[in-house]
Amino acid sequence: MAIALVFTVCNSAPVLGATDFSYLSPTRLEELKTAPANSALGAAREQAIADADAVLEEGKTHSVTFQTPQGRPHEDWTPNDFYSMGPYWWPNPDTEDGLPYVHRDGRVNPEFREANDRHAFQDLVRDVSAVGLAYALTDDEKYAEHAVKLLRVWFLDEETKMNPHMRYAQAIPGRSTGRGIGIIDTSRNAFLVDKIRLLRGSESYTSDVEADLISWYEEYLDWLIEHPQGQSEAAMGNNHGTSYDVQILSIGRFVGRDDWAREWIETVTKERFDDQIEDDGRMPAELRRTRSWNYTTGNLRHLTNLCIIAERLGIDLFHYPSAESPAFKAALDFALPYVDRPDDWPYEQIVGWDAPTARMPHIVTAAASVYGDDKYKEAIEKFDWEVTSASEYIIARDE
């Protein structure tokens, strides 16, 4: 897949207080905020506030400096550098020291969960999302104050901030000190920057805080685009490529690079749809994995979010390459019949079915709002996918 990886970019910060989200829906946020207490949305709102209160009560912050990997990943590594290990790599049974590690697709080495900044970052996104949403729902400054505290510790404070690169992500003992494939470990930046936007207008989220965060993300985005590890991830022809696009486009929008984002979608993202999705909707790069249902639903979620991000920029990926044969719809239609028929899935799936299936409400809800196909509406009713959680409800097209 040929990709032009370096674009001319221009930096301009968004206006403080703007609500130009990448894929959160301001309409749905308002629905959530004003829903009657005795409704499903009202219950979801109260649960979201309870989740935020739990974050406040715990009072925990997160940083790459709070975990220490075994040994020194590289002579240039510092505690402020993000570190993670490839999940499917295991000690070599044929060598005395276990090196170099060997690959076992889909089988997670327990070492992956130890001293791993990936999980710390996921916890950061979870907590900022919880208190950020609670602030948007209640206008209570205590939630915004804690969100800013969390952001300062991870991104801004000199002693604890993460350096804006991923050089040591998904390392493999005995093989690699870091790989471009590890960029997926911060894929939730796409969610985080939209949740940060929810803080605009609070007393705690000042213009200085936003300027500092934008500066950090600008440097990180430049690294993602220009560094060889970023370019290798951009060239991936599977879920890593689509996840990469979701992350860089969301960050690009956060730092004000909308024109660049449109150019990327037209020249790179559309090519991903062409290359990854067969005419019958199969995504071969995902189906050949040992967790084929996980990777199929995961990539469908990435594709959904790419369609929503593009729509906010005036580009229609929901009907790409044509209104008669949209690739995204074909991919969804291939997967949807198997939601409650795991035994009929004709591909390898070595882990459970329910967790990856939980991604489907967001995907199908978006499709129902675009295509008007009865089978999507029927699936939403059959599986009770109308309101799964407050945080999921607001990630949607803004109709």
Q: Which residue has the tokens 């580009």?
A: 315
Q: Per DSSP, what are the bridge partners of residue 171?
A: 85
- Round to the nearest angstrom and report the end-to-end CA distance of the chain: 34
395 beta partners? 24
**pLDDT (0 to 100) of residue 100:** 96
Question: What are the helix and strand counts (H, E) for the chain?
Answer: 17, 4
Whole-prediction pTM value?
0.94
Domain spans, the chain: 26-393
Tokens of 265: 């979608």
Can you give the pLDDT at residue 71? Answer: 67
Averaged in consecutive runs of 10 residues, what is the pLDDT profile of the chain (399 residues)?
43 39 92 96 97 98 91 85 95 96 95 88 98 98 98 98 97 94 97 96 97 98 98 98 98 97 98 98 98 98 97 96 98 98 98 96 97 96 94 90
Q: How would you class 235 by CB atoms within 10 Å of its CB: exposed for 0-12, middle for 13-18, buried for 19 or more? A: middle
The CATH architecture that domain 26-393 belongs to is: Alpha/alpha barrel (1.50)
Alpha carbons 30 and 398: distance in angstroms, whole number: 11
The closest of 232, 346, 332 to 277, measured between CA atoms, is 332
Contacts of 121 (CB under 8 A, 6+ apart): 62, 82, 154, 185, 186, 188
